[in-house]
C-alpha cells in the first residue's frame, strides 16, 4: 500500500521543517516547498538518510508568485502520485507601528500570509477535486482572534486566512475534502524569537507533534497547544482595548 503524502509550504525552517520530520517518522511521503531551495535539498538528504522508505520531493516556491503555484503543486502531485494533505504554512512576520513602519512591510505580510495562502489553497483544491479527495490544513495564529499592537498586518492576515478557510469548509461540505485550521500560540522559531514576551511558549518539536496529531485526527479548528490557548484566545476578543494595549 502506498504511503500517505503531505505537501508542506514554508518547509525550510520553523514549524514546517519540524513537521516534515514528524510526518516522515510516521511514514508519510513528503512534498516540501520554500523559497530557499538549498535548505530544502539539505533537509531532503537528511530525511532520506534516516527514513530511506520515504519519498521526498522538494521544489522552490515563492507564494507571492501566484502564477507558479498551480504548476508546482501539479509537479509534486505527479512526483508523489497523490497529495493526501496540503499544509498551507508559508508565512512571515514583520512587527512595527502602523504609520511608522514602512507600508511595504505591512503589505508584504498581507501578500505572503493571506494572498499567497489563497493562491496555494486555490491550486490545491483543484488537485483535490481532480483526484477526488484531500485534506486542506492552514497555519493561522492566535493573533487571528484580536488585532495586536505592532502586529496589525500579521493579525489581519491570519484573521483573513481563518475566515477564508471557514468559507472553503462550507463550499466543500458535500465533497470528499476535509478542512483544518490551526491557531498556534508561541512556538519557539525564528519568526518570534525577537519578541520581548512570548507567553506559554513551547519548543518547535512539541509544536510539530501537536500539529501532526491534530492533522491526523482531522480536527476542524483548534489552538496549538489546545490549552491554555483555547481559554486565552477567546478572551482576547473581549478584553478592553486598554488591556490589549499593554500586551
Cell numbers at residue 160, please?
483573513
3-state secondary structure of 97: coil
Is the pLDDT score of 239 beyond 70?
Answer: yes
Give me the chain's average pLDDT, please: 93
φ, ψ for residue 106, nearest 5 deg: -60, -50
Q: Which CATH superfamily is domain 5-244 in?
A: NAD(P)-binding Rossmann-like Domain (3.40.50.720)
- pLDDT at position 162 is 98
What distance in Å separates the CA atoms of residue 201 and residue 197, rounded to the nearest whole number?
9
What mean pLDDT comes out for the span 34-63? 97
CB 230 within 8 A of CB 222: yes
At 62, phi and psi to the nearest 5?
-100, 115
Q: For residue range 93-143, list pLDDT tens digits in order.
A: 999 999 999 999 999 999 999 999 999 999 999 999 999 999 999 999 999
Check residue 197 and give its pLDDT.
63
Catalytic residue among 28, 51, 66, 154: 154
Give the confidence band of 1 by pLDDT, cuts at 50, 70, 90. very low
Cα-based torsion angle of the residue sequence 222, 178, 33, 96 in order, rounded to the nearest 10 degrees: -40
151 phi and psi angles, rounded to 5 deg? -140, 40
Cell readout for 140 is 493561522
Indicate if 51 belongs to the active site: no
The confidence band for 193, taking pLDDT boundaries of 50, 70 and 90, is: low
195 pLDDT more than 90: no
pTM as predicted: 0.95
Amino acid at each position: 500500500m502506498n504511503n500517505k503524502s503531505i505537501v508542506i509550504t514554508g518547509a525550510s525552517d520553523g514549524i514546517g521543517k519540524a513537521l516534515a520530520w514528524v510526518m516522515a517518522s510516521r511514514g508519510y511521503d513528503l512534498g516540501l516547498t520554500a523559497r530557499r531551495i538549498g535548505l530544502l535539498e539539505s533537509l531532503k538528504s537528511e530525511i532520506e538518510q534516516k527514513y530511506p522508505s520515504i519519498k521526498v520531493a522538494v521544489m522552490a516556491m515563492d507564494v507571492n508568485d501566484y502564477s507558479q503555484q498551480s504548476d508546482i503543486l501539479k509537479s509534486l502531485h505527479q512526483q508523489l502520485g497523490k497529495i493526501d494533505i496540503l499544509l498551507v504554512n508559508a508565512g512571515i512576520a514583520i512587527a512595527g507601528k502602523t504609520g511608522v513602519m514602512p507600508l511595504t512591510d505591512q503589505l508584504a505580510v498581507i501578500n505572503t500570509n493571506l494572498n499567497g495562502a489563497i493562491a496555494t489553497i486555490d491550486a490545491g483544491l483543484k488537485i483535490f477535486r481532480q483526484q477526488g479527495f484531500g485534506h486542506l490544513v492552514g497555519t493561522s495564529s492566535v493573533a487571528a482572534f484580536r488585532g495586536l499592537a505592532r502586529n496589525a498586518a500579521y493579525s489581519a492576515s491570519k484573521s483573513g486566512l481563518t475566515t477564508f478557510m471557514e468559507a472553503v469548509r462550507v463550499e466543500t461540505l458535500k465533497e470528499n475534502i476535509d478542512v483544518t485550521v490551526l491557531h498556534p500560540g508561541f512556538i519557539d522559531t525564528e519568526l518570534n524569537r525577537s519578541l520581548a514576551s512570548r507567553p506559554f511558549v513551547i519548543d518547535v518539536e512539541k509544536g510539530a507533534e501537536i500539529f501532526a496529531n491534530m492533522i491526523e485526527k482531522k480536527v476542524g479548528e483548534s489552538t496549538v497547544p489546545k490549552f491554555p490557548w483555547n481559554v486565552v484566545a477567546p478572551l482576547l476578543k473581549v478584553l478592553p482595548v486598554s488591556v490589549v494595549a499593554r500586551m
